[in-house]
A and B are shown apart, each in its own frame.
Chain A
Amino acid sequence: AQSVTQPDIHITVSEGASLELRCNYSYGATPYLFWYVQSPGQGLQLLLKYFSGDTLVQGIKGFEAEFKRSQSSFNLRKPSVHWSDAAEYFCAVESVDGNKLVFGAGTILRVKS
């Protein structure tokens, strides 16, 4: 069965600094990959998705992620973090023949001024 690992439970960065959130997946075929963000008291908002094609995908709010098949990774990046980016970030994988998303445990991002 597929699984997703987000090795960092908490990350703290300074406002204006760059950010990278790690995500590794386990799945035999090429998965469909997603990053969602959850602000306190809010639902899950889609940041970006990878289905096929260019392995560097752009998302909303200035985020991007790179699919690396050799490393089974789909790390999320942002060149300059804003205080409003403080939230919990979830990586998720969906199999082509599946009918559900499998989520990682999430990474809580704190932004210090």
Chain B
Amino acid sequence: EPEVTQTPSHQVTQMGQEVILRCVPISNHLYFYWYRQILGQKVEFLVSFYNNEISEKSEIFDDQFSVERPDGSNFTLKIRSTKLEDSAMYFCASRTWAPGYSPLHFGNGTRLTVT
């Protein structure tokens, strides 16, 4: 069964550094998402992306965050200047159709540790 793949599985970075988290969504999917889960807390929505633009973002997704689909297969999340509180598990997800008609498929996540 096709799956969403994320790399790396674990990233350690120093505060203030830029990180790029990478995702390859399922190939025929059209809607893409990033979620994060701080240790011990809920899974939180960050951003959704469709037709090469952001369709919705949460208040967490400030100017330090950006997303890009640089080619036909990758979907990336960039954090420009990481803070300690950005340490979390970041999940990429994708779906085929519009909301309400298909479920999200999640990757295994990238654990980001900011030191």
A90 to B103 Cα, complex, angstroms: 14
How many A-B pairs have beta carbons closer than 8 Å: the answer is 56
- Tell whether, in the assembled complex, residue A102 and residue B45 are in contact, meaning their CB atoms are under 8 Å apart: yes
- Once the chains are docked, how many angstroms separate the CA of A99 from the CA of B58? 11
A100 with B56, Cβ < 8 A, contacts A43-B108, A106-B42 known: yes
Q: Is A67 an interface residue (CB 8 A)?
A: no
When C-beta atoms are compared, the residue in chain B nearest to A46 turns out to be B103
Nearest Cβ on chain A to B21's Cβ, whole angstroms: 13
Report whether A42 and B45 are in contact in the complex, using a CB–CB cutoff of 8 Å. Answer: no
Indicate which residue in A36, A45, A98, A105 contacts B99 across the interface (CB closer than 8 Å).
A98
B12 on the A face (CB < 8 A): no
- B99 near A103: Cβ-Cβ < 8 Å: no
| Chain B contact residues, CB within 8 Å of chain A | 4, 6, 33, 35, 41-45, 48, 55-56, 58, 91, 93, 99-101, 103-109
21 A–B contacts, CB within 8 A, in A order: A34-B103, A34-B104, A43-B107, A44-B91, A46-B104, A46-B106, A51-B100, A90-B43, A94-B99, A94-B100, A96-B100, A97-B99, A99-B48, A99-B56, A100-B58, A101-B35, A101-B45, A103-B44, A105-B41, A105-B42, A106-B43
